[in-house]
Amino acid sequence: MNTPRTEKDANEPRFSDTEPALMTCYRELAYITAALIDREAEVEEQARRINALEVELTQMQHALGHAQGIVHYHLTEQEAMRTSRSWRLMATIRRLGRVFVR
């Protein structure tokens, strides 16, 4: 049971008067804290995913560079072969071979 207030403590809230407000604040704080913990875990997971994707991207870029080097090498070899004298001299024989194979 509440005791009557004196003028001195009339402006100060009683503990029983503030308890529901404190409990509400406590619940809100607990909810916000739990939400922050969940978000932090989500952010950490996303950071790990980003790192893994960056590693995969680097590997793919190296593989692409290697493949482009191979393609360039073979195109250069093909061009050298086609501009060679023997390739041009054999062009007639290749054409005759195509005619007789059909």
| Full-model pTM | 0.53
Those residues with Cβ within 8 angstroms of residue 76's Cβ, 6 or more apart along the chain or in another chain: none
pLDDT over 90 for what percent of the chain? 50
pLDDT in tens, 20-55: 888 888 889 999 999 999 999 999 999 999 999 999
Distance of CA 9 to the CA centre of its chain: 60
- pLDDT number for residue 78: 92
Q: How far apart are CA 13 and CA 19, in angstroms?
A: 10
Identify the residue with better confidence: 102 or 98.
98
Mean pLDDT of 76-95: 87
